[in-house]
Amino acid sequence: MIKVRVPATSANLGAGFDALGLALNLYNNVWFEESDRIEILAKDGFDVPNDKTNLIYEAIQTVYNECGVSLRGMKIIQESKIPMTRGLGSSSACIVAGIMAGNYFLGNPFSKDDLINLACKIEGHPDNTTPAILGGITVSAMDNGKVYTVGIPLNNDICFGVFIPKFTLKTELARSVLPKEYKREDVVFNLSRSSLMIASLFSNKFENLIVATQDRLHQPYRLSLIDGAETVFDTAKRLGAYSACVSGAGPSIISFIDRKKIDNFNKYAISMLEDKGIKGWSFVMLEHDNEGAKIFI
């Protein structure tokens, strides 16, 4: 049996819609064993399909199809700590686990770059799948269906406080509320901030994040789908975060925090929300993951 460990991810990071992504130290651990039949077990209590429609299995199937090999079955045991449909890359983690396992069982015909492309093809955009594979912060661009990407390790001074609501938000719904066209000034607004985000993270100019996470392409349209979001942003600010933004398509909200302030967040984040009548959210303090998906044999 092999194990594949894949990190959670937070996509967009504010202005970098469908381009920026960050790997976090919250994991989906998946065990695989070759088998003549499909056996799928979730040890984490998540209700996942246990047939060929299971996303992990579909990802393995894609790898086998690409190689022209027939897949008879697979034993899969999942133990995921990544909450589902919350904007933390749970489906990307499943896709990446499946393609890494499929590649291993077929004798590693695909390089890491091939796997990045394959994962993006299954998911539809690269900003969760690429950091899940590479770790760190990734910047990705698509050209003619190919992903051009760089993954860069992050500095340890910054931590990530993630506010996670009880309710879910499907990415398809969160994408359906976005406009088809944007004004030039809005595009320029995002281009400048997305670039500022990357430059600031790598030069430790974290005080820039308050501006770098501003966005006019997706967050303004999605906030009405995230009940309590304004109060969460306000709480993160009062507790001293550099900034906060919607994680991926939402509904979770990720805040960027100086390591020295993490006790403050751990103690007061939820009680401050509850005092303002916002119930049902949880808070988790995370670190970045610089390793990306790993196979344990």
Note whether 128 binds ligand HSE by CB under 6 A.
Answer: yes
77 DSSP β-pair partners: 31, 41
The three-state secondary structure class of 249 is coil
Stretches 46-54, 107-115, 121-129, 197-205: which one binds ligand HSE (CB under 6 A)? 121-129
Q: How far apart are CA 184 and CA 186, in angstroms?
A: 5
Fill in the per-residue mask, 71 to 90: x = in contact with ligand HSE (CB under 6 A), - = not in contact.
--------------------
Element of type H or E holding 231:
helix 229-238
Pick one of 80, 127, 251, 293: the residue that binds ligand HSE (CB under 6 A): 127
| Residues 238 to 277 in contact with ligand HSE, rule: CB under 6 A | 248-249
Smallest gap from residue 217 Cβ to ligand HSE (A)? 9
Smallest gap from residue 13 Cβ to ligand HSE (A)? 10
Stretches 11-19, 23-31, 252-260, 270-278: which one binds ligand HSE (CB under 6 A)? 11-19
DSSP letters spanning 167-207: S---HHHHHHTS-S---HHHHHHHHHHHHHHHHHHHTT-GG
CA distances from 209 to 7, 243, 244 (A): 23, 6, 8
Residue 9, φ and ψ in degrees, nearest 5? -140, 150
Whether 195 and 19 have beta carbons less than 8 Å apart is answered as no
Smallest gap from residue 136 Cβ to ligand HSE (A)? 18
Q: How far apart are CA 289 and CA 172, in angstroms?
A: 27
| Residues 52 to 71 in contact with ligand HSE, rule: CB under 6 A | none
Fill in the per-residue mask, 201 to 240: x = in contact with ligand HSE (CB under 6 A), - = not in contact.
-----------------x----------------------
Note whether 171 binds ligand HSE by CB under 6 A.
Answer: yes
Pick one of 5, 125, 193, 216: the residue that binds ligand HSE (CB under 6 A): 125
Smallest gap from residue 74 Cβ to ligand HSE (A)? 25
Q: How far apart are CA 227 and CA 24, in angstroms?
A: 24
Q: How far apart are CA 52 and CA 135, in angstroms?
A: 28
Smallest gap from residue 286 Cβ to ligand HSE (A)? 18
C-beta of 17 vs 281, nearer to ligand HSE:
17
- Sheet strands (E) in the chain: 2-11, 20-34, 38-42, 74-80, 137-143, 146-152, 158-165, 243-246, 253-258, 281-286, 294-296
C-beta of 127 vs 289, nearer to ligand HSE:
127
C-beta of 104 vs 221, nearer to ligand HSE:
221
- Applying CB under 6 A, the residues found at the interface with ligand HSE are 11-12, 17-18, 125, 127-128, 171, 174-175, 218, 248-249
